[in-house]
Structure 1
Amino acid sequence: MNEENTRQQSQLAGPNPELSDAELAALPAALQEGCSRAGWSELTLVQKKAIPYVLSGRNIMVQARTGSGKTGAFILPLLERIDVTRPDCQAMVLTPTRELARQVAQEAAVLAGESGLNVVPVYGGVGYQAQRDAFRQGAHLVVGTPGRILDHLLGRNLSLNHLRTLIFDEADRMLSVGFYPDMRELQRYLPAKGVDAFMFSATYPESVIRLGREFLTDPAFLGLSGDQVHIAEIEHSFCVVPPMLRDKTLIRLLEMENPTSAIIFCNTKNNVEFVTAILKQYGFDAEDISSNLSQNKREEVLARIRSGNLRLLVATDVAGRGIDIPGLSHVFLYESPEDPESYIHRAGRTGRAGASGTVITLVDIMEKIELDRIATRFGIKLLERNSPEETDVLPILEDRITVLLENKQRRLTLAQKERTARFLPTIPKFAQSEDTAALLALLLDELYQRSMNVSPPEPDTRTGRTRRPTSPPQSGPSAEGAKKKRRRRKPKTPPSGKNTGGAGESRPETHSTEE
């Protein structure tokens, strides 16, 4: 095991020393009153475990599922950490979606009651003015999506100079949507003295662990599952799907999960080729690997996925033997394995070096019976998830496209903004007609398909910069022409004594956890 893996495991070794659990009767009076307003007669497990760490300001990464009471686990102690007599933003909660931002803000308002705490939800899709007005009135707690919060920071509507507490809610989903560049940019606005940061996530793949290292200082790790506290582990789930709908279900799962890299296992070479062709038709960056592949081609494909230049690998069990891909977040079983040992082999491709992993199996009714036998034999807890419909996927795609467009809009020059503004009156006209609305859908689909050719940017603590995987290798005349242009281009040497980092550009005070 290399040094990096050893360090990663030590960071996920759990809190040491472990703080005593919180009890409702022992909480400060204001927190007990908040629980009473919310109708809570007792604390949930995640609240008992996490509240002491937030109260004490000890950075921690918490693994907790939706519905476990995690919002109360960080909102309740914030009531004690925020001084409502000061009209400053003292705490901020980052969420992956507008809906979650609204939910967290509403729960915070209920728990705070008449304490004077000003909670401001901040997200896109609504006007800026109401949010600006709320900031001027004094926003003690800001809850919102990274993109819209960053917009207000860039516009100097919001200051984080007095921020004390930073919460990441559903951090795995934030990376899946593609918020990392915004979070990295937002980091520049954090106070130089640092903040107490806490991360809550259902899973902790390697990318989320790296994100935690960028924002949290020597964090403890708390994994919660049922009534046990343990290290992050592999989540095993399955969908019951009719055989004829298996390919569409796989597409929807991939779009919902948006894995950085994944292996899709099939039982036969024919299915490997079929699945790969379907994925490519839907715009996914996918390659297959089977026993028919030459050794050189096999090594080329494996090198691409290891370097982040290939997102999806489709393989049989035989071809998948010995494959070791660091940072693999997901494994999909397009069909149930033919023997129990094959399931363990497939699932073992993810969840390496202490990180979480996700294994999703597609089964029909009869295959589910065999999968249950495998789970019983190896003591695996299986979670059944509903087979996703198009209506389940669409909101996620909308969020992802919105983030892509907001990132692009934020970098427009004044001239570019003026150009795009000319088309604003055209949008309602296009939307009124089914034919012209289809043209707008075409543009959105093209944008989305381009985004699927490369993995989402991942946290990279080695450089402190966003790591953007390069596009798949080009071929043909256009690629050759691009190579010639690159050969002719000479690097420009800046004049002596001049700053190439953007002279005259106004930048806020920066803070980096790597310093």
Structure 2
Amino acid sequence: MTEEKKTADTGENQDNGPETLPEISFDELPEELKEACGRAGWDDIMPVQKKALPYVMQGRDVMVQARTGSGKTGAFVLPLLDKLNADSKDCQALVLVPTRELAKQVAGEAEMLAGARGINVVSVYGGVGYKSQLEAFSEGAQLVVGTPGRVLDHLKNGALNFDKLKVLIFDEADRMLSIGFYPDMKRIQAFLPKRLFGAFMFSATYPPVVLRLADQFLHKPDFLSLSGDQVNVAEIENVFCEVPAMGKERYLLRLIETENPTSAIVFCNTKRNVEFVAAVIKQFGFDAEPLTADLSQNKRESVLNRIRSGQLRILVATDVAARGIDIPELSHVFMFEPPEDPESYIHRAGRTGRAGASGTVITLVDLVQKAELKRIAAKFKLNLIERKAPEDEDVAAIIEERVVALLEKKRRDLTYFHGERISRFLDMAKRFGEEEDTLVLMAMLMDEFYQSSLHSPPELPEEKGAKPKPQGGEKKGGSGGSGGGKPSGKPSGNPKRKRRPRRRKPKDD
């Protein structure tokens, strides 16, 4: 962990830059924010709100490490109440979220906190018609909460504009990247004004790809965490899921689909399990290869070169076969079973979280193996987190979000003649959706489309200096960072560096 990634609340200002901000208490809140808390039934504020509110209220760009249920929505909605002008119908604040459910949840909480202030909150997301969203815009939409794809649709159609936008918020940034929204987020950036009051990012984890996203949208952000005096962006999260002894491979598949790793190693204890698990993962559409000690040197090098170069997403291996492997930015390690040798757990987990990156280690255990894993955790003083294994309905919801995002992206890029071709099938699609037998045919096409997307990870922010990919011909505008210039992308936890002054607009603009 480098000194430059210290949180803003350490109180250490080694380069004499902007002062760190102390936490705020409920009693110190402005009266109108106390009233908003009262509408929500809060007689106190959550730890994330105490830490983040002072920065958000001052418009200092900030990255906040916070999980769902921590109270993060209040941390960014409360300060908006005195920033939004109810007399203007223009969009003044944008909250980007990964899913329709989160869009509805955030919008609902924002409406409750705003009360009768005349602020209209509009949630927009894909997979539904446009009519109700367009009608809501016509009545005014001071605060828009939406998924990046549908927000981009409205921008391109002229139903939404950001000329008066003051605040940009990313909620659950890591999940947005996992679903595949990065290309849409970059295209939205072309519509952002050159100056913002502030840009704020909330995410449960901060792997390198999320830090690079912040580099592109935020200006010298502070970094706040609830976990202690420092934000450990290089932290390895050790998770386990208790599952039945039989059918473990089904739970592994659900985890892979919900996590959507950029690249991963699945560890098994035996060659037989390696070959079985790799075959099952491949049957479900993922690009996976087994790696065992039986492979020839040429085959072994070929497989390793593929995963190192990003051409292979999932490697399934034994401990012996994976010894000495170093894969840059390996996002996940899955353990189909705990290792027989406790030392091997550290070896396996160490494949991720390399060179300052963060990583996730997920182990599948049955009841007996759970006790074994806890002994390993006690031996090495690991903080094990138990997580409920995803069920089929959890996976179905995530797949729906991804398929909608991918299909709507394709729709935005349709040529005139492609649209003409598609129009020939609209009546057929409607008829097919009305009968159970023909509905299966449509499901087959959707499955084929989804499976074709699994061989490659979602497009993600690239490292600084990498050749940028073309983003399409949107209208030209500012870079979107709240500082207007090129952001440093590094959490400034010593915020006393000289900062470019922000242009704050009066409330009646």
TM-score of the pair, normalised by structure 1: 0.87
Contact 1:181 1:466 survives alignment (8 Å): no
Q: For the residues of structure 2 that align with 1:30 and 1:203, how far apart are their CA atoms?
A: 32
Q: Distance in 2 between matches of 1:458 and 1:114?
A: 40
Structure 1 residues 205 and 134, CA gap change in structure 2 (3 angstroms): same
Question: Alignment partner for residue 309 of structure 2, among 283, 301, 307?
Answer: 307
Would you say how many aligned residue pairs link Structure 1 and Structure 2?
473
Greater helix fraction, Structure 1 or Structure 2? 1
Amino acid of the structure 1 residue aligned with 2:232: I
> Please, which of 507, 511, 514 is the counterpart of residue 475 of structure 2?
507
Residues in 1 aligned to 2:465 and 2:20: alpha-carbon distance in whole angstroms: 32
Q: Structure 1 residue 195: deviation in Å?
A: 5.5
Q: Is 1:146 aligned to residue 148 of structure 2?
A: yes
Distance 1:289 1:259 in 2: 18
Gapped regions of structure 1 (runs ≥ 5): 1-5, 469-500
Structure 1 residue 188 corresponds to structure 2 residue 190: yes
Cα drift, residue 506 of structure 1? 7.3
Give a deviation string over 1:90-120, Cα, whole Å, max 9, x none: 1100000111000000000000111121211
**8 A contact 1:309–1:455 mirrored in 2:** no
- Post-superposition shift, 1:228? 6.4
Structure 1 stretch 205-214 or stretch 14-23: which is displaced more?
Answer: 14-23
Task: Kindly provide the amino acid, as one letter, of the partner of residue 222 in structure 1.
Answer: L
2:126–2:405 CA contact under 8 A, matched in 1 = no
Tell me if the contact between 1:261 and 1:308 (Cα under 8 Å) persists in the aligned partners.
yes
Q: Return 5+ residue gaps in structure 2 as ranges.
A: 14-18, 487-509
Q: Sort the Cα spacing of 1:43 and 1:13 in 2 relative to 1 into closer, same or farther, 3 A.
A: same
Query: What is residue 506 of structure 2 aligned with on the other side?
Result: none
Q: Is the 8 A contact 1:460 1:467 kept in 2?
A: no
Match of 1:387 in 2: 389
Question: In 2, Cα distance between the equivalents of 1:194 and 1:49?
Answer: 21
| Aligned mates of 1:399, 1:465 — CA distance in 2 | 29
Instruction: Name the CA distance, whole Å, in 1 between partners of 2:468 and 2:435.
Output: 41
Structure 2 counterpart of 1:457? 459
1:352–1:53 Cα change, 3 Å? farther
Contact 1:351 1:357 in 2 (8 A): yes
Name the residue aligned to 2:98: 96
Match status 1:230 vs 2:231: yes
Equivalent runs, 1:95-494 vs 2, <5 Å: 95-194=97-196, 196-225=198-227, 230-232=231-233, 233-462=235-464
Which residue in 2 is equivalent to 1:19?
Answer: 21
Counterpart-to-counterpart distance in 2, 1:138 and 1:10: 45
Residue matched to 1:76: 78
Question: What is the CA distance between 1:239 and its match in structure 2?
Answer: 1.1
Q: Which has the higher contact order (CA 8 A, sep 6+)?
A: 2
Per-residue CA deviation, residues 241-291 of structure 1 (Å, 9 max, x unaligned), is 222211111011101111111111111122111111111111110112222
Residue by residue, what CA displacement relative to the aligned partner does 1:398-429 show, whole Å, maximum 9, x if unpaired? 11111110010000012222321232222231
Q: Deviations over 1:136-158 (max 9, x none)?
A: 33211110100111000000111
* One-letter code aligned to 2:406: L
SS in 1 for 2:226: strand
Amino acid at match of 1:404: L
In 1, Cα distance between the equivalents of 2:225 and 2:56? 16
Q: Helix, strand or coil: the match of 1:251?
A: helix
3-state SS in 2 of match to 1:143: strand
1:34 paired residue number? 36
Q: 2:7 corresponds to which letter in structure 1? A: G
Counterpart-to-counterpart distance in 2, 1:134 and 1:430? 32
Matched residues in 2 for 1:236 and 1:312: separation?
19
Percent identity of paired positions between Structure 1 and Structure 2:
58
Q: Per-residue CA shift, 1:343-375, capped at 9, x if unaligned?
A: 111111112344321111001111100111111
SS of 2:433's partner is helix
Secondary structure of 2:247 counterpart: helix
Shift in CA distance, 273/457, structure 1 to aligned 2, threshold 3 Å: same
Are the structure 2 counterparts of residues 349 and 166 from structure 1 closer, same or farther at C-alpha, using a change threshold of 3 Å? same
Q: Secondary structure at the match of 1:260?
A: coil
How does the TM-score come out when normalised to structure 2? 0.88
Q: Distance in 2 between matches of 1:376 and 1:449?
A: 40
Q: Is the alpha carbon distance of 1:212 and 1:151 closer, same or farther for their aligned partners in structure 2, counting shifts above 3 Å?
A: same
Distance 1:292 1:370 in 2: 28
- Residue type matched to 1:507 in 2? K
- Going from structure 1 to structure 2, the CA distance change for 1:463 and 1:437 (only over 3 Å counts) comes to farther
Tell me, in whole angstroms, the C-alpha distance in 1 between the residues paired with 2:326 and 2:286. 22
The one-letter code of the counterpart of 2:5 is L
Deviations 1:303-356 (A, max 9, x none): 221221111011111222221212111110011111221111111111234432
- Separation in 1 of the partners of 2:98 and 2:350? 29
